[in-house]
Structure 1
Amino acid sequence: MIPVRAPVSDQMEYTPYTFPPGNASISSSVLSLCPSAATLFFLPSAYTLLFLTALPGNVLSLWVFQRCISTASPIHVYLSHLSISNLMLSVTMPFLAAYFALGSSWMQSGFLCQLVLHGITPVFHININISMTILTLVALSRFAAIIRHTHASRQSGCVTLLPHGFFARLTRASFASRVCAGVWVVAVGGTVPVTVYYSVKEAVSGEAPAKDGCVEVCYNPAVEIGGSFSAMLAVPVITLFFVFYLLVLISYMTVLRHIKRSRRSTKVTTSQRLLGRVLRNIVVIQVVLSVCLLPHHIFKPIFLSLIINQRLQMYSPGPDICNSCHPLSTFVELKNCLLLLAALRGSTDPLMYFLLDKTFRHKTLRLLGWNQSSPGGQQRSSVIGSDNQSAGQMEDGTVDSTQRSAL
């Protein structure tokens, strides 16, 4: 009879596998991942809670962007595409909750495990790639608008270094639509082949230990760690994230410097509130990237180096090899908790839209039955992109109609 790895209820029988690498005969991939309470209870509960908040929040956001805002600005185009991506992510959350709660008892060849490998994993990583790109584009669009349409004691160096048409295109809705279409093509085209190779070739490599008398479950080292090919392709994605993160940081520093210069110009003294709001918008995006995506992308290279080091070690077989803990079990759980932070954006992004965009905020409140207006009786247009209200009131009386439509 083939011995089967212990079910979740018997997880206390797992023992750390510490055989010396002396008489090497097997790889560490034979060992089991030993889920703790963080995997069995915390992650399923957290993903369930995120699903209950992300699904209605993103459905409402998408409805407002598509149905309630008649003339979309570039920012509305970017955020509507981000809402679509987050809506797809929210649909995956119940399956992720089930995977972490029951993956240690599912068979790898079962339908639910294969669904997670072939369906949920690609959608999850596509969302991460799309979100980090679109958030960067939002920050760059705000940066371009404020640099082009406000004045300072002297012109920003970015205006002289980069072509004028570059900033003009960043503030056009048609350009935003084309860019978002390109982002989807690149994200899907770049992610799907890698995840298909991972799920077909690398994840199924975990079935090899069955020859040694172990039946592979879904939550195993091959599934959670992957292989050399997917690890290699993770490096450019990590690099791209830090490039985007640096671009947002540079935008923040440049706008902050622009505001300081503007204060020395009597021509735009009344524009300070407007400049401050744009700065706040970029700061909000920087915080979202820092809290939700930065920890995962910092830990990922560390995790990959641990994997490489672990693969170089071989272990002697023991009498209870099927129930022995993989040495990276704790690091796998830490990786999954940091991925939870990335998924947290699915719930927090609708709140971010509410904070960033006045048009979105007014339309949402009106849709919910709260008719909000400014003390003067007129609703002010959005700081980051006006729609049909753009002819409406900016608090800065010196900003002309062209500036209002861009900002």
Structure 2
Amino acid sequence: MNSSSCLQPSPATTVALPVIYSCLLPAGIFGNILAAWIFSRKVPSRKTQYIYLANLVTANLLVCSTMPFLAAYFAGGHRWPYGSLACKVAHHLGALVMHVSMYVTITILCSIALSQYATLKKSTGTQHSPDLPGNFQRRLLQKFRRPKFAKYFCVIIWMIVLCITATAITVNVQHRVSEEFPTCYNIRVEVGDRPEMIATSLATVCFFLFFMTVLWSYYSLTRHLSRIQENTCIGEKHLIYRRVKRNVLVIQIILTVCFLPYHIFRPIFYVLGTDNDCPRLNYLVEIKNFLTCLAAAKSSLDPVITILLDKTFKKSLYGLFTKSTPEHQKHNNDIIAEMRRNMERFS
């Protein structure tokens, strides 16, 4: 296979992808900055869910910050020299940081789902608590709803991210420029070397573990809710169950729509991309890039998802666009009082 001429991007790559990333960028930056401002000013920062959501917003902003580099890479990467500064910046600050931040969002989404699931154990007591595993697993699950654990867990995640990013950049910088790859858009960047394939395969395994964990949480909630509805009148607690079940369902839909297609295709990409078939490789690379774009689009849509996940955030956002009249002030006070009652219920 002639590596220097095998990959030839089509207009779908050089035109469509830059346009999509350029459209996602302003929506993602504006929405996530607004969400970050609301979290810092309007909602209690010591609650577990808001610790996870604040870190989720940070990861989303990182993904959005890489979109200009990705748009420039797909628009002109097939003309850049492989060793040029533009290629290194697009490859490191674009693709690498975007992929690492993407797995941070997946991990935090799974943590939110486990936190929501563990909340029912606290809110329902021992009589009607969901079916949880043994004592050790139960204690571990309950930790996901504790603010101190959430802070330490997120710090560990970011430390791992920094180590992975620094190591990957160091390895990539040590790559020598070869005449085999004259342009930035080449097989080494798009397909990756063996260490990158191994790392991607491990990340894919981790994703499916997270995916199945959220799926298990939703199944257990649905089964438990059906059982207690048949045998018990749970009254006001029914609203708590419905809210938690809806939140876990939203997370499951996000993982299924945005991330599952990419992770199903990735092993197929590595298996089929090993043949010396340039037309097939071009199609595979472009499908992979569009599925990656779908995963990145989740970061731009996350403020909408946050509105679905959190009622307090929605009310705080609504308060920004209402006039400060006595009636609205009373309405805001009612919102704050209700928010405090909800926080005490989940504490």
Which residue number in structure 2 is paired with residue 246 of structure 1? 212
**3-state SS in 1 of match to 2:56:** helix
Question: In 1, distance between residues paired with 2:222 and 2:126?
Answer: 12
Cα deviation 1:195-248 (Å, max 9, x = unaligned):
5424543xx56x2327xxxxx111122211111111122111110000000000
Residue identity in the other structure for 1:97: A
Within 5 Å, give how 1:140-151 maps onto structure 2. Answer: 140-150=114-124
**Which one has the bigger helix percentage?**
2
Residue 272 of structure 1 deviates from its aligned partner by 1.6
Give % identity.
31
CA deviation profile, 1:346-384 (whole Å, cap 9, x unmatched): 1111111111111111112212336898x9987457xxx
Give the CA RMSD over aligned residues.
Answer: 2.6
Label 1:123 to 1:377 Cα distance change in 2 as closer, same or farther (>3 A): closer
User: By how many angstroms is 1:265 displaced?
Assistant: 4.4
Q: Distance in 1 between matches of 2:221 and 2:238?
A: 12
**Deviation at residue 103 of structure 1 after TM alignment:** 1.1
Conserved 8 A contact 1:136-1:247? yes
Establish whether residue 37 from structure 1 lines up as the match of residue 11 from structure 2. Answer: yes
For 2:323 and 2:206, locate their aligned partners in 1 and report how far apart those are by CA, in whole Å. Answer: 41
Find out whether 1:360 has 2:301 as its counterpart: no
Shift, 1:55, TM fit? 0.5
TM-score norm. by structure 1 comes to 0.77
1:354 & 1:149 partners in 2: Cα distance? 23
The answer to whether the aligner puts 1:209 opposite 2:180 as a matched pair is: yes
- Equivalent residue, structure 2, for 1:299: 265
**Partner SS, residue 8 of structure 2:** coil
Hey, what's the Cα distance between the residues in 2 that align with 1:357 and 1:302? Answer: 37
Counterpart amino acid of residue 93 in structure 2: G
Conserved? CA contact 2:110–2:210, under 8 Å: yes
Question: What's the counterpart of residue 174 of structure 1?
Answer: 148
In the TM superposition, residue 185 of structure 1 has moved relative to its aligned partner by: 1.2
Specify the code of the residue in structure 1 equivalent to 2:226. K
Question: Given the alignment of the two structures, is residue 234 of structure 1 paired with residue 183 of structure 2, yes or no?
Answer: no
Q: Does 1:223 align with 2:176?
A: no
Contact (CA 8 Å) 1:107, 1:218: kept in 2 or not?
yes
Q: After superposition, where does 1:36-115 map in structure 2 within 5 Å? A: 36-115=10-89
Correspondence for 2:293: 340
Q: Please list the CA deviations of residues 22-78 of structure 1 after superposition, one character each: whole Å capped at 9, or x if unmatched.
A: xxxxx4424331111210111000000000100001111111112222443111100
- Kindly tell me: are residues 82 and 376 of structure 1, through their superposed partners in 2, closer, same or farther at Cα, counting changes over 3 Å? closer
SS of residue in 2 equivalent to 1:262 = helix
Determine if the alignment matches structure 1 residue 391 to structure 2 residue 340: yes
SS at the partner of 1:90? helix
For 1:113 and 1:268, the matched residues in 2 are separated by 60
1:95 is matched by which residue type in structure 2?
A: F
Q: Could you tell me how far apart the structure 1 residues matched to 2:307 and 2:170 are?
A: 36
Decide whether the 8 Å contact of 2:24 with 2:300 is kept in 1: yes
In the TM superposition, what whole-angstrom CA distance separates every residue of 1:70-91 from its partner, at most 9, and x where no partner exists? 4431111001011111112111
Q: 2:286, 2:244 → 1: CA distance?
A: 38
Shift of the alpha carbon at 1:140?
0.3
SS at match of 2:132: helix
Give the conservation status (yes or no) of the 8 Å contact 2:262–2:291: yes
Q: Over alpha carbons, which structure has the higher Rg?
A: 1
Corresponding residue number in structure 2 for 1:131:
105
2:69 and 2:119 map into 1 onto residues whose CA distance is 41
Sort the Cα spacing of 1:278 and 1:157 in 2 relative to 1 into closer, same or farther, 3 A. Answer: closer
The answer as to 2:160 corresponding to 1:186 is: yes
Structure 2 Cα separation of the partners of residues 368 and 232 of structure 1: 49
* Alpha-carbon distance between aligned partners in 2 of 1:196 and 1:300, rounded to the nearest angstrom: 24
Q: CA deviation at 1:271?
A: 1.9
Give the 3 Å change call, closer, same or farther, for CA 327–159 of structure 1 in structure 2: closer
Deviations 1:152-177 (A, max 9, x none): 87553315454553343222112111
Give the SS at the match of 2:238.
helix
Aligned residues: 344
Look up the match of 2:346. 405
SS class of match (1:158): coil
**AA aligned opposite 2:308:** L
Please, which runs of 5 or more residues in structure 1 have no aligned partner?
1-26, 211-215, 316-324, 382-387, 395-400
Amino acid at match of 2:254: V
